[in-house]
Structure 1
Amino acid sequence: MSKLTIALDIMGGDHGPPVILSAVQKAIHTLTDTHFMLCGDESVIQPALEKLNADEQARVTVIHCEQVVEMGEAPTSALRNKKQSSMRRALELVQSGEADACVSAGNTGALLTMAFYLLKTLPGIDRPALVSDMPTATHHRVFLLDLGANVNCTSETLFQYGVMGSVLAEQISGIKNPRVALLNVGEEDIKGNAQVKYADQLFRNASGLNYIGYVEGDDIFTDHADVVVTDGFTGNIALKSCEGLAKLVIHEVKRLTQASFFSRMMARIALPLLKNVYNRVNPDQYNGASLLGLRGIVIKSHGNASADAFYYAILQSKQEAEMKVPEKIKSKIETVLLEQL
């Protein structure tokens, strides 16, 4: 396999280049078969590269960018006025084939707008969706989409999301005949708005999909489904609520284990168990949402991601590039989706 190339938007995110460059240094150290194209202010990037050895520096290309897409900038303004930005340049490298994937922690709306404009969607896909896998009560993962790319979705778009999510679960996680479900306020057929009810009918009338019906929010983590479909408004709230709860659990475990001498001693005994729990619920390792449905690999990291979290997003981009996700899902999406529409 030829060496992969990943383009990184160094200037995006709430915490700016220091956090992202820390993650990049770790990635360069560990991913020795990968070339990195760093897009951003060269004067900011170069000092970090001085800490690398000669072999590591040889696997890095710096793309100087004079502009930065601000976190609060309007997406249309960024598309029109930030053609020399680090975010756009990273996407253009994927568009031209110079990079196999790109990662950005920048302005979500701007990234979605630019990616949609530059890379276009696969045939049969109206809008791309942000999707991420999350832990369940078993060792399986569940793919949740949309996570905020489109707050208003038609029934047809929800159906498209289900097809894409099913293909992703099958190709990335190796799940045969993935179970697809619609997120709803109840499991009964009478529950839900008109949009969800019509999407339910589209799924039921489709062949080649293992549609299991509605699931409620508390079923996301029970391994009831492999793919859970919803609109971006609901999906984003569900994701952020889950991350907040995970952080609360981690905080409470840390607080309780330091509450007294006895609890600290018990924590030492239970340390392997506590580490397992921490690794299961730590949101950092689930950072990085794939912008699914595009003709290229784009990973959106949380804007407030830590260095470790952004590193996980880089790992995700490498995995999808190695598995050639767009190519693998393209034919099946075209076949399954276009036959149903």
Structure 2
Amino acid sequence: MKIGLDILGGDYAPKSTISGAIEAQKVLQKDQRIVLFGDEEEAKRSIEAAGADPSLFDYVHAPENISMHEHPTKAISQKPNSSVAKGFELLKAGEIDSFSSAGNTGAMLVGAMFSVKPIPGVLRPAIATNVPKLKNGYGILLDVGANADCKPEMLNQFAVLGSLYAEHISGTKNPKVALLNIGEEEEKGNILTIATYPLLKSNPKINFIGNAEGRDLFSDNADVFVCDGFTGNIVLKLAESFYAITLKKQLKDDFLERFNYEQYGGSPILGVNAPVIIGHGISSPEAIKNMVLLSKEMIESKFIDKIRSAFN
């Protein structure tokens, strides 16, 4: 198993990404290798300085970095030796089994779409994120930013993708799927949600329970919440700000702590031909570690094959 990691992506890279890789390596099996994309010599020096063994990792020399403010498509084409471009080059060639980065989100989306490409039958891949449930565990929310404008058919597919993720990665049997809306009644919503509802209702591949309002997001009412990427991204950023406020107010609670992005590491792009995970720009070593371990879990579970089967 080869787990690709961009060590140049993120606000605190490469120190944070290398520290996270070292921690992740400690819990991997001998045949599970982390492949580091970045400045090879600098990476080896940093690993050695941290008291770890550089020989425990594989390296791909990619000295260029795509910054957060660069245009994604231009940057990937104009910087072929960047860590993100090299990562997708090897992922496409099958030389690594997954690729993750806390760097430029747009570049990660472009790389995924144009290198490993969407799984046949998938109209648009979606970004998924965890949302904590009040009692325990997590639900899944998607899309949270890959597709600002959606068609009903796309939301119907997001429901299938999210349901598969909840079942095979989160371990939820027969996950309950809800459409995020402004009311519980079937006829409520805008043009998109009204047209999406009957598609979800007649979809035999999901356990659709109807509409869910924003107040239901952290409840046990559903395991998968489906929405367009514009709505999902607003919800995601609101949840992130809510967690930041709890830290400032020094509020301690198990439920509130589960808003901490570090615990799940990153957000997978669901619907492409390989595990691709986007980390938060401010990812800490703990978040990087968990992003690597999520990559490992997606590879081991053969999650991509399960999506292919569902869309075959």
**Gapped runs of 5+ residues in structure 1?**
255-273, 335-341
Aligned residue number for residue 216 of structure 2: 219
1:279-332 alpha-carbon deviations (Å, 9 max, x no partner): 434332133001100110001001111221222211111111111210123212
CA distance in 2, matches of 1:107, 1:12: 7
Aligned residue number for residue 43 of structure 2: 45
Aligned: 1:82 with 2:60: no
Aligned residue number for residue 171 of structure 2: 174
Compared with structure 1, are the counterparts of its residues 17 and 52 closer, same or farther at alpha carbon in structure 2 (3 Å cutoff)? closer
**Residues 8 and 36 in structure 1, CA contact (< 8 A), matched pair in contact too:** yes
Alignment partner of 2:25 out of 22, 25, 28: 28
Compared with structure 1, are the counterparts of its residues 277 and 199 closer, same or farther at alpha carbon in structure 2 (3 Å cutoff)? closer
Compared with structure 1, are the counterparts of its residues 298 and 221 closer, same or farther at alpha carbon in structure 2 (3 Å cutoff)? same
Alignment partner of 1:290 out of 255, 268, 272: 268
User: 1:276, CA displacement in angstroms?
Assistant: 4.1
More helix by share: 1
Aligned: 1:58 with 2:36: no
What pairs with 1:14-163 in structure 2 (closer than 5 Å)? Answer: 14-33=11-30, 34-51=32-49, 56-163=53-160
Aligned: 1:203 with 2:200: yes
CA distance in 1, matches of 2:84, 2:117: 16
Aligned residue number for residue 302 of structure 2: 324
Larger Rg: 1
Aligned residue number for residue 234 of structure 1: 231
TM-score, with length taken from structure 1: 0.86
**Residues 140 and 223 in structure 1, CA contact (< 8 A), matched pair in contact too:** no
User: 1:208, CA displacement in angstroms?
Assistant: 3.2
SS at 1:63 equivalent: strand
**Residues 265 and 286 in structure 2, CA contact (< 8 A), matched pair in contact too:** no
Instruction: Give the residue type in structure 1 aligned to 2:280.
Output: H
**Residues 164 and 333 in structure 1, CA contact (< 8 A), matched pair in contact too:** no
Aligned residue number for residue 193 of structure 1: 190
**Gapped runs of 5+ residues in structure 2?**
none
Instruction: Give the residue type in structure 2 aligned to 1:49.
Output: I
Instruction: Give the residue type in structure 2 aligned to 1:40.
Output: G
CA distance in 1, matches of 2:156, 2:309: 17
Compared with structure 1, are the counterparts of its residues 144 and 253 closer, same or farther at alpha carbon in structure 2 (3 Å cutoff)? same
* Residues matched between the structures, number: 311
SS at 2:280 equivalent: coil
Aligned residue number for residue 310 of structure 1: 288
Instruction: Give the residue type in structure 2 aligned to 1:204.
Output: K
1:45-91 alpha-carbon deviations (Å, 9 max, x no partner): 1211224778x433311211132111111122123212221012112
SS at 1:13 equivalent: coil
TM-score, with length taken from structure 2: 0.93
**Residues 160 and 205 in structure 2, CA contact (< 8 A), matched pair in contact too:** no
Aligned residue number for residue 299 of structure 1: 277
User: 1:239, CA displacement in angstroms?
Assistant: 1.0
Aligned: 1:250 with 2:247: yes
Compared with structure 1, are the counterparts of its residues 282 and 214 closer, same or farther at alpha carbon in structure 2 (3 Å cutoff)? same
Instruction: Give the residue type in structure 1 aligned to 2:43.
Output: I
SS at 1:19 equivalent: helix
CA distance in 1, matches of 2:261, 2:47: 28
SS at 2:136 equivalent: coil
User: 1:118, CA displacement in angstroms?
Assistant: 0.3
**Residues 131 and 291 in structure 1, CA contact (< 8 A), matched pair in contact too:** yes
Instruction: Give the residue type in structure 1 aligned to 2:48.
Output: E
CA distance in 2, matches of 1:275, 1:178: 26
SS at 1:199 equivalent: helix
User: 1:275, CA displacement in angstroms?
Assistant: 7.0
User: 1:248, CA displacement in angstroms?
Assistant: 1.6
**Residues 246 and 283 in structure 1, CA contact (< 8 A), matched pair in contact too:** no
Compared with structure 1, are the counterparts of its residues 28 and 140 closer, same or farther at alpha carbon in structure 2 (3 Å cutoff)? closer
Cα RMSD over matched residues? 1.9
